[in-house]
Chain A
Amino acid sequence: MLQRLLAAWIAWLWSGCSAAAGLALLLAAWQIGAEALGPLLLPTPLETFGRIAGLMAEGALWPELANTTRRVLSGFSLAIGIGVVLGVAAGLSPAGALLARPLITVLLGMPPIAWLVLALLWLGSGDGTTVFTITVAALPVVFGAALQGVRTMDAPLSSMARAFGLPWHLRVLDVGLPHLFAWLFPAAITALGTCWKVAVMAELLASSDGIGAALADARSQLDTTAALAWVVCVLLALLLIEYGLLEPVKREVERWREPAR
């Protein structure tokens, strides 16, 4: 399994050429914009990456990135854990699903900044506030996907499994979980993106460390280059986790979806 995952990961890296071309176009547009607007409004990509290298050299980058990543991953894991348990529980009964539907709409519509204010009032400033905000922002996506996954279980497949006398634990393992997983994985990727966005926002307003706090510093010093450097760091971290880790895993475990070539 590990060997197969590794092979899939390498194949995925090879297939990344088109993505690289897209990024190169974006960099070119950035360069043109920077030349037109001047360094105060929009520094060039080279300046920005130079600043990232500088931050790395002075040792400022890794601690801040580590802080933010830690909060993102804690909030993400909590959202997945709580969302899956509650979503599956709600999905198992039609009444639960009916009750949960408006709740998801409300929670999805609730602006994360409102949660942040509430969290500041409840928990004060600190890790708890940021992690809480990340968790509640990502929770409804995961919860909704788990609920839908359970609600859309394929009845004919379940009948087939029962007719063949599959014991309950195999029915869960071979029939239920793969179906649920197919719903959860896209939701998890969306939730992870949300987590990063909310993490930076929450840190900017409620934390003294992490990339969000560093962005707040850059803003107060009117240092556009530093601000852009931090933004690029966030994006790179997101790209790395999503395309370097989640996508190849998803492709490998969902190989059954696409017809073989």
Chain B
Amino acid sequence: MSLLRIDGFGHRYGMRRALWPLDLHLAAGESVAVLGPSGCGKSTLLQAAAGLLDVAEGRITRDAERLGIMFQQPCLLPWRNALDNIALGLKARGLGRQERHARAAAMAGRMGFKPDDLALYPASLSGGMQSRVALARALAIEPDLMLLDEPFAALDIGLRHELEQLLLDERARLGCGLLMITHDPREALRLADRLLVLGEQPGRCLLELVPAHPAALRSERDVLALDAQLRAMPAVRAAFGLPALPVNAGDEPAATAPAIAVQTFAAPAAERHEC
């Protein structure tokens, strides 16, 4: 049973192709990251998965009842205070004022908000706090599918780590599926069970990476070692336009590095390309 099935979805903006057709199936509770450089069409993929884009090519079916989403910007309503912003998804689901405020406040508490903060408007919140509100808003509806469009890209590494941890904890609690797009390999390795690397313009699926353990079982050290391993892969370097690494005898990956299963996809001979 797939939470999200993307079959042969490709997209053009006018005459310009942004994304070659690709397939992606997300099982319930699974976490997948789409990793790629800017302009490879990964935002388009997420927009389509969220139902914000008309799908002209291929098919996207979503079996998720409750959809939580985070964008690159926090996208908070500037005229609503933090609590009302967190409660927005609950309001959309028709919950009464009292109940949605209670649930939003409970979620805000888990996100580390003090009760006083909840009365503040977004203009009075720091960037980190705004992202936290956006995360709490997405999680407050107890989603079965979370869609993330590099939401932590503008934060410093400490804040990023903290919000990622909150997201991992809540995902473990709720058991929701997660599809994230990012250009940060470390973030992808921290949050996702499985990685798809997109590259080139128009974007296509280059390879699939499956680390030995799911995201929940990886330690911080595993993530850093995997990150180093990933950055050294020729295919990944090519996807991001990095120059090839000079070959030295001592540069072999350390024997202790966690294993990654790699599947490479051939360049599209015809228009259709699957991964």
Contacts and interface: CB of A to CB of B under 8 A. Distances in A.
Contacts of B80: 174, 256
29 contacts: A156-B73, A156-B75, A157-B77, A159-B47, A161-B88, A161-B92, A162-B51, A163-B52, A163-B67, A164-B67, A164-B69, A164-B89, A164-B92, A165-B89, A165-B92, A165-B93, A166-B92, A167-B92, A170-B91, A174-B77, A174-B88, A178-B79, A255-B121, A256-B78, A256-B79, A256-B81, A257-B78, A257-B123, A260-B120
B71 interface: yes
A172 B99 CA distance: 23
A160 interface: yes
Q: Which of A159, A164, A174, A178 has the most CB of B within 10 A?
A: A164
A162 B52 contact: yes
B124 interface: yes
Interface in A167-188: 167, 170, 174-175, 178, 182
B93 A156 contact: no
A260 B126 CA distance: 12
Given A166-B88, A256-B123, A260-B120, A178 B71 contact: no
Interface in B131-161: 137, 141, 147
Interface in B63-120: 67, 69, 71, 73, 75, 77-81, 88-89, 91-93, 120
A163 B73 CA distance: 14
A22 interface: no
Nearest to A254: B79
Contacts of B147: 163
A185 B75 CA distance: 24
Interface residues of A, number: 22
B50 interface: yes
B3 to A, nearest CB: 16
A157 B73 CA distance: 10
Interface of B: 47, 50-52, 67, 69, 71, 73, 75, 77-81, 88-89, 91-93, 120-124, 137, 141, 147
A114 B153 CA distance: 58
A258 interface: yes
A90 B265 CA distance: 50
Nearest to A259: B124
A212 B115 CA distance: 56
A170 B100 CA distance: 15
A159 B67 CA distance: 13
Nearest to A175: B77
Given A156-B75, A159-B52, A257-B123, 13 more contacts: A157-B75, A159-B47, A162-B52, A163-B69, A164-B67, A164-B89, A164-B92, A166-B92, A174-B91, A175-B77, A256-B80, A256-B81, A256-B121
Contacts of A165: 67, 89, 92-93
Nearest to A261: B124
A167 B47 CA distance: 19
Interface of A: 156-157, 159-167, 170, 174-175, 178, 182, 255-260
B73 to A, nearest CB: 6
A170 B75 contact: no
A156 to B, nearest CB: 5
A43 to B, nearest CB: 49
B124 A260 contact: yes
Contacts of B92: 161, 164-167, 170
B50 A163 contact: yes
A255 B120 CA distance: 10
Nearest to A257: B123
Contacts of B81: 256
Nearest to A174: B77
B221 to A, nearest CB: 36
A258 B52 contact: no
A160 B134 CA distance: 10
Nearest to B78: A256
Nearest to A181: B79
A166 B122 CA distance: 20
Contacts of A182: 79
B121 A260 contact: yes
Contacts of A162: 51-52
B120 to A, nearest CB: 6
Q: Which of B75, B91, B120 has the most CB of A within 10 A?
A: B75
B124 A160 contact: no
A259 B123 CA distance: 5
A159 B137 CA distance: 15
Contacts of B137: 164
Contacts of B77: 157, 174-175, 178
Contacts of B93: 165
Contacts of A175: 77
